[in-house]
Amino acid sequence: MADFWFQFLLALDSSIRVATPLILGAMAGIFSERSGIIDISLEGKMLMAAFVAAAVAYGTGSPWLGAIAAIIVSIIASLIHGFACIIHRGNQVISGLAINILASGLTVIIGIALFRQGGQTPTLPKSARFNSIELPFAQYFADNIPILGVVYKELISGHNILVWLALASVGITYYILFKTTFGLRLRAVGEKPEALDSAGISVSKMRFQAIIIAGILCGLAGVYLSTATGAGFVKEMTAGKGYIALAAMIFGKWRPVPALFACLMFGFLEAVAARVQGAEFPIIGEISSDLLLALPYVLTVVLLAGFIGGVSPPRAIGQPYIKER
Amino acid sequence: MQASRLPAYVDILVIPLLNLLTALFVAGIIIAIIGENPFTALSIMLKGAFIYKGGLGYTLFYTTNFIFTGLAVAVAFHAMLFNIGGEGQAAMGGLGIGLVALGLGGILPVPIVILLAIIGSAIFGAIWGVIPGYLQAKRGSHIVITTIMFNFIASSIMIWLLAGLLMAPNQMSPETVSFADGVMLFKIHQILNSMGFSVARSPLNLSFVLALLCCFAVWVLIWRTRFGYRIRATGFSTKASAYGGYRPEWIIILVMAISGGLAGMMAVNEILGVQHRVILNFTSGYGFTGIAVALMGRNHPVGIIFASLLFGALYQGGAELDFEFQTITRDMVIMIQGLIILFSGALAYMFNPFLERIFLANKGQKEPENG
């Protein structure tokens, strides 16, 4: 039993690690989509950022410079999306898809041109990465305080700074969206842009601000993948995480706190999937980890179909705003 | 999408070409930045795609894939549905072929197995398209999100089956056993060689003919049948079409079935034409390329044939880049594809104001002469 609890604790711990890029991606999605811009390019932005973070961290030896460069590139990708969808009123899904495909190709091409390692970056030394931060007294508490001490050591201590940033981003997103004028306007621009326009606020400017914030958050998610959990960039390293973040955002009904729980749940599913591979269970028998990994997608489809409560996306989502003259 | 006031030939020819050139121009700049000569790269691609021995066959082989997935996206576009699920639908199509070929191969005569396998691919693809269609029509879930999710679900199912129930015994890679002897489509080079022509080996097979037949069928469906008229009416305005007495829900569901079926038939080319067994990830992104093809081809079968040929040449030529350059790989083609989707899809109307100034200004001067 004790062993089970310890395993469970480790599964929770790895859920948080898996969920971190999902949380950052989901918050990015919330900013963008709440302003009325569909963002399926979370995946591509994360991928570009992951590459740039690793490349710059390798070149300069500083993970911080890598992170800054990654965020800048991710913002540029957001601006391309904005240029197409806000300025030229292009189809937002097509634009997002273009960025994703572009990211798949570009990261590998530039990777080969710079490092000649088949699209990977060289392995980063420890000094060029964001390493885990052991909280004070972790070992002491684990040895001396029953249960809580172990929880403190295994679950709370030992995460890198980006995990904390991701968790903080949920609170910040909530605060900005629901407690500030900017947030009110941002939500309004995704529901009824003409109302904002008649109040003399620029719809385009609001939407650009929203997608720039989304760019920053996706940038951080990419940084996490290649310079915190990973030690370098690998071809297609996001592997659909941007899409799972999108699913989590929908699952959380475009709200930061429920989206956080969706991310943690999806992260937990993945952590469990890694552990049950090949294991036999009473009654149900062997659980396929492949099918378990598909569960986030299935759940999102079921939710969207309205079988578990209703979902209503921002009303003006996907529609380019045409200013009346 | 906004209405254009430009003459038809500008809309159909000039704009797609201009968008394509812009995409290639940007790709050229990127090639130059990484230190290679874009013109050398272009000439190697063209030679690889059309001139080198067997190149044309490979180009047309890829073209076949893109015709299927391009048609799938285009049919859905006519009803204003965005089917990004081609990848998953094609994977399921491959599963359909595999189940028929492995289940009935050796029991029924070979031609009947092949025919049933082709039908199986269409049905399995259609099922994978019709569920998102139903969910959009009856439950209001957004088709874009559902089809994205269905791609991932299909991929998980394929991994689960090919590494489990359907996995060939005594080997490591996730794939089925080979189909029974003869359960495959003839290669075009075999047919032509038997007729006395000398043609280089290539994977090009009879699926190419099937793809062209599908183009014709889609043209008839969309522009020459009452149902096609309803599809376009639904795409134009769901409300108007409901007012006209149609049931838009059913049109959405049927269109997604057709779209999914077409995407599923891509597997005929890869699985029945070349692999003769079901392998993992045989769709390799062709479903997504279908979106670029449909955008470039303006959702018209003739346009789709040309756009597929373009992408077929890019893929085959891109393979040639792998041999010739150390720094350029096939990923260059993926990047070009992304640029084409960006410029001919998302930024499709970027040049409209500019072109309107040119073409409509001329027209303005001519009109007094005519009148």
Mutant choice from B331, B339, B343, B354 vs A, greatest count of A C-beta within 10 A: B331
Whole-number pLDDT of residue B367: 46
B20-351 domain in CATH 1.10.150? no
Report CA torsion sign: B151, B153, B159, B164. Answer: negative
Whole-number pLDDT of residue B368: 45
A291–B contact, CB cutoff 8 A: yes
Tell me which CATH code domain A2-128+135-304 carries: 1.10.3470
Whole-number pLDDT of residue B370: 42
Write out the DSSP string of A60-102: HS-HHHHHHHHHHHHHHHHHHHHIIIIIS---HHHHHHHHHHH
CA distances from B165 to A46, B158, B159, B160, B175 (A): 35, 10, 10, 8, 10
Mutant choice from A233, A290, A317, A321 vs B, greatest count of B C-beta within 10 A: A290
Q: Which amino acid is at A120?
A: Q
- Residue-wise pLDDT for A158-214, tens only, equals 788 899 999 999 999 999 999 999 999 999 999 999 988 888 899 999 999 999 999
Contacts of B24 in chain A (CB under 8 A): none
Q: Alpha-carbon distance B263 to B88, whole Å?
A: 9
On whether the CB atoms of residues A74 and A32 are closer than 8 A, the answer is: no
The reply to whether residue A90 touches residue B349, judged by beta carbons under 8 angstroms, is yes
Return the exposure string of B18-53: e unless at least 16 CB atoms fall within 10 Å of the residue's CB, then b: bbbebbbebbbebbeeeebebeebbebbeebbeeee
The predicted complex's ipTM stands at: 0.88
The upper half-sphere exposure of residue A264, i.e. CA atoms within 13 Å in the direction of its Cβ, equals 13
Return the exposure string of A213-222: e unless at least 16 CB atoms fall within 10 Å of the residue's CB, then b: bbbbbbbbbb
A308–B contact, CB cutoff 8 A: no
Give the contacts of B109 (CB within 8 A, at least 6 positions apart).
Answer: none
Tell me the domain boundaries of chain A: 2-128+135-304
Q: Hey, what are B370's tokens? A: 């005519």
The upper half-sphere exposure of residue A189, i.e. CA atoms within 13 Å in the direction of its Cβ, equals 33
Residue B170's CB is within 10 A of a number of other CB atoms, namely 6
Whole-number pLDDT of residue A5: 79
Angle ∠(A241,A242,A248) on CA atoms, nearest 5: 85
Q: Hey, what are A317's tokens? A: 């989502």
Whole-number pLDDT of residue A2: 67
Q: Alpha-carbon distance B197 to A98, whole Å?
A: 42
B83–A contact, CB cutoff 8 A: no
pLDDT over threshold 80, residue B44? yes
Stretch B29-40: mean pLDDT, rounded?
A: 89
Q: Which amino acid is at A208?
A: F
- Of the candidates A44, A17, A107, the residue with the CA atom closest to the CA atom of residue A242: A44
Give the contacts of B121 (CB within 8 A, at least 6 positions apart).
Answer: B93, B94, B96, B97, B264, B265, B267, B268, B271, B272
B159 band by pLDDT with thresholds 50, 70 and 90: very high
Whole-number pLDDT of residue B366: 47
Helix, strand, coil percentages for chain B (3-state, nearest 5): 75, 0, 25
The lowest-confidence range among A164-168, B59-63, B65-69, B166-170 is: B166-170
B140–A contact, CB cutoff 8 A: yes
B36 band by pLDDT with thresholds 50, 70 and 90: confident
On whether the CB atoms of residues B16 and B344 are closer than 8 A, the answer is: yes
**Nearest residue of A to residue B295 by CA position?**
A94
Whole-number pLDDT of residue B304: 96
B350 to chain A, closest Cα gap in Å: 6
Contacts of B174 in chain A (CB under 8 A): none
- Residue-wise pLDDT for B70-96, tens only, equals 999 999 999 989 999 999 999 999 999
Q: Hey, what are B240's tokens? A: 């108007």
B119–A contact, CB cutoff 8 A: no
| Paired strand residues for A133 | A159
B115 to chain A, closest Cα gap in Å: 31
From the list B145, B160, B345, which residue is nearest A290 (CB)? B160
The reply to whether residue A306 touches residue B141, judged by beta carbons under 8 angstroms, is yes
H helices present in chain A, as ranges: 2-34, 42-60, 63-82, 92-115, 138-144, 148-151, 161-179, 181-191, 193-198, 203-224, 241-251, 256-276, 289-304
Contacts of B164 in chain A (CB under 8 A): 288
From the list A101, A247, A291, which residue is nearest B334 (CB)? A101
Contacts of A317 in chain B (CB under 8 A): none
Chain-wide mean pLDDT for chain B?
A: 88
On whether the CB atoms of residues B79 and B252 are closer than 8 A, the answer is: yes
**Nearest residue of A to residue B148 by CA position?**
A243
Q: Phi/psi at A286 (nearest 5 deg)?
A: -80, 135
Whole-number pLDDT of residue A282: 64
B170–A contact, CB cutoff 8 A: no
Interface size between A and B, measured as CB pairs under 8 A: 154
Of residues B180 and A73, more confidently modeled: A73
pLDDT below 70 — which residues of chain A? 1-2, 277-286, 308-311, 324-325
Whole-number pLDDT of residue A316: 83
From the list A91, A119, A311, which residue is nearest B346 (CB)? A91
Share of chain B above pLDDT 90, in %: 50
Q: Which helix (H) or strand (E) holds B209?
A: helix B207-224
pLDDT over threshold 90, residue B14? no
- Residue-wise pLDDT for B325-367, tens only, equals 877 888 888 998 899 889 988 888 788 888 888 877 766 554 4
DSSP A226: I
Mutant choice from A102, A110, A289 vs B, greatest count of B C-beta within 10 A: A102
Q: Alpha-carbon distance B274 to B250, whole Å?
A: 36
Give the contacts of B345 (CB within 8 A, at least 6 positions apart).
Answer: A90, A91, A94, A95, A97, A98, B291, B292, B295
DSSP B60: H
The reply to whether residue A105 touches residue B338, judged by beta carbons under 8 angstroms, is yes
- Residue-wise pLDDT for B219-255, tens only, equals 999 999 988 888 888 887 766 666 776 778 899 999 9
